[in-house]
């Protein structure tokens, strides 16, 4: 102690003392006997495994005496707490993921907060795994064909097997989402899913827009084409079906036929058109003709069978289906269709209990 007091009486001695004390503090923090080179190697490996911030990786390793397996479990525990704190934040970005088997297709929406996370390979891997899981979910209404909805409650408790270098093994859907949310540092949530089954004499066609890799996109169009003769030319049905799935994404139809336009939608549009026409100052008879003319235009915009075909706008979809029926030698009809887009209705649904929007045939 006498020597220490004598040393610290000079500026150089003060600096030396501070360095010694700092080294002692560091030694106490890393008293596991693990060398500096091995420490850096463990930090690097755990960061590669988890994608967690380097500060959190180092802290977990120190707390677990540089046991990398224990530290990884500790990071997962901490991540779940972090994820729960972020779960109230708006997640309107993300991706749609599509999985398909013979006669059935399923599409899910996995949301995050930023487009940056939507481009992350771990997020994309999870989205594709969820779509494959959704494909296995039984139709709760036991319909032979048609569209059915899957909410979080249908998937969250199911087992999910992930095979990615940074997130692998069997876990529940909810735990996988929570773990990825912790890795990404954002709110990640499974929002909704839909599945469509074709009839025994039908084919399913799908299209994904803005697709970063197969099975992923921001907008999805799916439809089923049904044919009376099961021996009809499948190539022609699949060709036209693919074009129609793309048409659905581009043209945004809301109804399959004019007869399926809901009375509420029709009356709401009629009221809007009437108000607009009345500003012209024309006689009532002229206003009525204007409204009816604009309603016909409205039908052409929102009814799939009345829309101009995007691949060839010289015909409408009704004519396209008629021509296809002649080509295959059997009557063809559109059984069902739907269109989904990432984030549609998110802001509205945060303050409303209204059902999630999806354009579909009924």
pLDDT, residue 188, reads: 92
| Biggest CA pair distance of the chain | 111
In the chain, the N- to C-terminal Cα span, in Å, equals 88
pLDDT of 58: 87
Q: Which residues pair with 202 in a beta bridge?
A: 226
Helix, strand, or coil (residue 13): helix
Percentage of the chain surpassing pLDDT 90? 41
Helix (H, G, I), strand (E, B) or coil at 153: helix
* Mean pLDDT, residues 105-122 taken together: 94
**332 pLDDT more than 60:** yes
C-alpha distances in angstroms, 87 versus 81, 222, 337? 10, 30, 32
Q: Residues 243-266: what's their mean pLDDT?
A: 94
Q: Which pairs with CB-CB distance under 8 Å and at least 24 residues apart come from 347-356?
A: 347/90, 347/92, 350/90, 356/149, 356/191, 356/192
The answer to whether the predicted template modeling score (pTM) of the entire model surpasses 0.75 is no
Q: How far apart are CA 315 and CA 299, in angstroms?
A: 15
HSE value, Cβ hemisphere, 13 Å, CA-based, for 50: 31
Place 25 in a pLDDT band, splitting at 50, 70 and 90.
very low
Which tokens sit at 5? 């007091």
Percent of the chain with pLDDT over 70: 81
Query: Is the per-residue pLDDT at 185 higher than 90?
Result: no
Cα(212)–Cα(38) distance, rounded to whole angstroms?
38
* pLDDT for 143 beyond 70: no
Phi, psi of 138 (to 5 degrees): -70, 150
Pairing relationship of beta strands 219-227 and 332-341 according to DSSP bridges: antiparallel
How buried is 46 (Cβ within 10 angstroms: 0-12 exposed, 13-18 middle, 19+ buried)?
buried
Q: From CA 74, how far away is CA 59, in angstroms rounded?
A: 10
State how far the Cα of 9 lies from the Cα of 208, in Å rounded to an integer: 75
Task: State residue 87's pLDDT score.
Answer: 59
Q: Using pLDDT thresholds of 50, 70 and 90, give the confidence band for residue 291.
A: confident
Strand partners for 333 = 226
Strand pairing report for 312-316 and 104-112: unpaired
């Amino acid at each position: 102690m006498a020597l220490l007091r004598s040393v610290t009486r000079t500026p150089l001695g003060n600096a030396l003392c501070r360095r010694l004390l700092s080294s002692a503090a560091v030694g106490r923090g890393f008293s596991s006997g693990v060398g500096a080179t091995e420490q850096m190697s463990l930090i690097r490996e755990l960061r590669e495994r988890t994608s967690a911030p380097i500060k959190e990786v180092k802290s977990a390793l120190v707390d677990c005496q540089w046991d990398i397996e224990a530290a990884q479990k500790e990071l997962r525990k901490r991540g779940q707490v972090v994820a729960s704190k972020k779960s109230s934040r708006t997640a309107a970005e993300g991706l749609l993921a599509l999985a398909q088997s013979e006669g059935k297709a399923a599409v899910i929406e996995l949301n995050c907060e930023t487009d940056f996370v939507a481009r992350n390979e771990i997020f994309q891997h999870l989205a594709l795994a969820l779509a494959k899981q959704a494909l296995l979910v039984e139709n709760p209404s036991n319909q032979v064909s048609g569209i059915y909805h899957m909410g979080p409650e249908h998937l969250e408790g199911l087992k999910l097997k992930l095979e990615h270098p940074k997130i692998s093994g069997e876990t529940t859907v909810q735990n996988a989402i929570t773990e990825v949310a912790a890795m990404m540092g954002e709110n990640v949530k499974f929002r909704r899913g839909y599945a469509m089954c074709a009839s025994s004499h039908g084919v399913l066609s799908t299209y994904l827009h803005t697709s970063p890799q197969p099975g992923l996109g921001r907008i999805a169009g799916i439809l089923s084409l049904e044919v009376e003769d099961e021996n009809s030319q499948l190539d022609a049905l699949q060709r036209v079906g693919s074009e129609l799935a793309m048409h659905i994404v581009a043209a945004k139809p809301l109804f399959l036929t004019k007869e399926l336009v809901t009375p509420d939608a029709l009356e709401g549009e009629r009221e809007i058109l009437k108000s607009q026409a009345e500003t012209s100052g024309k006689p009532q008879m002229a206003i009525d003709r204007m409204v009816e003319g604009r309603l016909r235009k409205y039908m052409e915009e929102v009814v799939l069978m009345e829309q101009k075909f995007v691949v060839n706008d010289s015909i409408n979809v009704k004519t396209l289906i008629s021509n296809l029926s002649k080509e295959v030698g059997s009557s063809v009809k559109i059984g069902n269709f739907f269109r989904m887009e990432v984030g549609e209705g998110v802001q509205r649904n945060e303050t409303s209990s209204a059902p999630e929007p999806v354009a579909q045939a009924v």
